[in-house]
Copies of this chain bind each other. A is one copy, B any other.
C-alpha cells in the first residue's frame, strides 16, 4: 500500500486548474502500487487516477511512459489515457513531485486468475505489442541482462550472509544467461511488469492494462516470458500448463511468435524469473524493518528460476506446436 505524499486540497486545486476537469469533488489515497503515490480523484469532469511520481521513477522517463499510454489508448488499447493540460503538457508538479492524471478504468484485478484470464492477458498483450509498434520514443530496459550483475552484487554487499546454495545457484544462472542471452528477436514497446494486479477484467473480458512505469523497448517475447511467470504458476509455485497454454496460444493467435522467439522462450523465462528474484531480494535485504513498503518473498522466484532451467522447449509451457509460425 502506498501513499508516500499527502496533498492538501489547495495544492490539488491549483494543480488541477490547467487540466480543465472542472470542480474538485473528492480525492482519496489508494492503497495499491508500491512505487508511487496514487489518488482516486473525482471532479465534475469525471473520475481520474492522480499519480505522484516518487523517487524510484526517473523524471526523464515520464514522457515515454505517458506518451506510450496515450499512443496505446488512442489505438484502442484499454489503458489509462493521460489528461492533457491547456498548455498541451501531460506532466505537472504537485507537492514537489512530478505528477500526472489519467482516466479511471473500471475493472477488477484477478487475485486468482483462471485459464480464461490467462488467455485474456495473452491476447491483450499481443494487441498491445502490435499497437505499440509505431510509437516514436524508445526507452532502454533498465532491468535486463546487463543490469542483473550489478544488482546481484548490491544484494551480496547488503547481505554478506547470503545462503551459500542460493548464491551459487544465482551465480550459475547469471553466468549461463550472460553467455547465451538471445539477441536479434523482434523488438517493440513492452510493459515488462504485466502481473495480475496490473490487468483489470470485467467478468471474463480484459477491461484495462495499467501501470506502465517499467515499460521499455525490448524483445517482445520477454514480455511474454514475464507474463508466463506472473500468471501461470499456482500458489504452491507449481507450473499450470493449462494456463501456460491459454496464455501462449491466445498471444500467438493475435501476434504469431517467430521460430527464434519460441526457441528463446525458456531462456527468456529463466531470465525474467531471475529479474524478479533479484529485485525482490534487493528489497528484502535493503528495506528497513517498519517501512510501509510491502516486501515480497524472493523465494517464489527462486523456484521459478529452477523450473525454467528444466524446460527443453516452449511446447512444455503448453504452446500449441501446430499453431507455430515460421520466423
Residues of A within 8 A of B (CB): 1-3, 6, 8-10, 23-32, 40, 42, 105-112, 200, 202-203, 289-292
Contacts and interface: CB of A to CB of B under 8 A. Distances in A.
A1 B31 contact: yes
Contact of A108 (B6, B26, B109): B26
Given A1-B3, A290-B290, 10 more contacts: A1-B31, A6-B111, A9-B109, A9-B110, A25-B107, A25-B108, A25-B202, A26-B105, A27-B108, A30-B31
Given A1-B1, A40-B40, A26 B107 contact: yes
A28 B25 contact: no
Contacts of A27: 108
A26 B27 CA distance: 16
A177 B8 CA distance: 37
A9 B117 CA distance: 13
A30 B1 CA distance: 9
A23 B207 CA distance: 14
A40 B28 contact: yes
Given A28-B31, A30-B28, A30-B29, A112 B10 contact: yes
A202 B24 CA distance: 8
Nearest to A201: B9
The 10 closest A-B pairs by CB, nearest first: A290-B290, A29-B31, A8-B111, A25-B106, A3-B31, A31-B31, A9-B108, A26-B106, A289-B290, A28-B30
A6 B111 CA distance: 10
7 contacts: A6-B111, A8-B111, A9-B111, A26-B200, A27-B108, A28-B32, A42-B106
Identical chains in the assembly: 2
Contacts of A42: 106
A33 to B, nearest CB: 10
A292 B3 CA distance: 12
A289 B292 contact: no
A42 B107 CA distance: 9
A123 to B, nearest CB: 20
Contacts of A9: 108-111
A24 to B, nearest CB: 7
Contacts of A289: 289-290
A32 B29 contact: yes
A80 to B, nearest CB: 13
A116 to B, nearest CB: 13
A111 B10 CA distance: 9
A26 B200 CA distance: 9
A111 B27 CA distance: 12
A117 to B, nearest CB: 10
A134 B25 CA distance: 32
